[in-house]
Amino acid sequence: MQYKETITLAFSGASGAPYGLRLLEVLLAQHFRVYVLISSAARVVLDTESNIKLSGNEDKATEQLSALFNAADGQLQVFGKDNWFSPVASGSAAPKKMIVCPCSAGSVSAIAVGASDNLLERAADVVIKERGQLILVPRETPFSEIHLENMLKLAKLGVTIMPAAPGFYHQPQTINDLVDFMVARILDHLNIEHNLTKRWGYGEGKK
Ligand SMILES: Cc1cc2nc3c(=O)[nH]c(=O)nc-3n(C[C@H](O)[C@H](O)[C@H](O)COP(=O)(O)O)c2cc1C
C-alpha cells in the first residue's frame, strides 16, 4: 500500500492516553504510516486509562495496536524503548514529523536537555537536530517553573508546545468531543485535513 507519509507518534507516561489513541486512529484512517513509541510509564497509563494491556515486546505490541485500529500490513510499527537500530533513532532515516501525545513533564525535561536515554527521547532529539517538526502535548497541572522553563526552551528551538487543554466553545457533549478538540488542533499543526471539529468563525453545520 502507498502511504501519504510516515509520522512518529510517541506515547509517554502523562495522563491523556485517549488523545494519543485517537490521533493514531485518525492518522491510520487517513493512510499515513505511523511509527509508534511507547515509554514504560505510558504502558501503565494506557492500561489505567484505556484498558489496553500493551505487550512490552515490540512485535506483539505492533500486532495489538494494528488489530485495534485495523491497520494495514506494515502501516503501523511499534519500536521498543531500546531499539537503537530503528529508523527513528537516526537522522538519516527518521520521519521529519513527530508528536509526543501525551507528553509527561519527565519527557519534556529529558527532551529539553537532550538526554536521549530511551528511544522516545532520542527520536525527539533527532527531530530537533534535523530541524523537523516536533509537537509535544504536555499534561500536568499546575506547571512548575521547571516545567515552564523547559517548555520555553523547547519553544524557542521551534518545538510546538500544545498542552492538553481542550476548549469548550464548541459545546462538547461527550468526552470524545473533548478528545477530538485536541486531536483536531494537532492535525491542524501537521497540516492534515480533517473534519473533527467545527472551525472558529463558521456557522452551524460548517466544519
Ligand atoms: C496513571 C498515571 C498518570 C500519570 N499522569 C501524569 C501526568 O499527567 N503528567 C505527568 O507529567 N506525569 C504523569 N505521570 C507520571 C509519569 O508517568 C512519570 O513521571 C514517568 O516517569 C514519566 O516517564 P516517561 O516520560 O518516560 O513516560 C503519571 C503516571 C501514571 C502511572
Binding-site positions read: 13-15, 39, 104-107, 139, 169, 185
Per-residue pLDDT reduced to its tens digit, 72-85:
999 999 999 999 99
pLDDT classification of 201: cutoffs 50, 70, 90? confident
Ligand 1 mutation pick, 15, 116, 119, max ligand atoms within 8 A of CB: 15
Q: Grade residue 206 by pLDDT with cuts at 50, 70 and 90.
A: very low
Ligand 1 centroid distance, CA of 194 (Å): 29
Ligand 1 atom having least distance to the Cα of 49: 1
Average pLDDT over residues 108-127: 98
* Protein residue whose Cα sits closest to atom 17 of ligand 1: 13
Assess contact for 47 and 53: CB atoms under 8 A: yes
Question: 36: closest CA among 110, 95, 116, 112?
Answer: 95
Which listed CATH number (1.20.1070.10, 3.40.50.1950, 3.40.50.980, 3.30.1490.20) goes with 6-189?
3.40.50.1950
pLDDT of residue 203: 58
Ligand 1: centre distance to CA 171 (Å): 29
* Confidence at residue 152, expressed as pLDDT on a 0 to 100 scale: 98
pTM of the model: 0.96
pLDDT confidence bin for 24, thresholds 50/70/90:
very high
**Each residue's pLDDT tens digit, 141-192:** 999 999 999 999 999 999 999 999 999 999 999 999 999 999 999 999 999 9
Bind-site residues for dimethylallyl phosphate = 169, 185
User: CA–CA separation, 41 vs 29, rounded Å?
Assistant: 27
pLDDT tens digits for range 32-58: 999 999 999 999 999 999 999 999 999
Which of ligand 1's atoms lies nearest the C-alpha of 120? 26
Return the residue whose CA atom lies nearest to atom 16 of ligand 1: 13
- Check if the beta carbon of residue 63 is closer than 8 Å to that of residue 35: no
What residue segments make up the domains of the chain, in order of their start?
6-189
* Gap between the Cα atoms of 55 and 65, Å rounded: 10
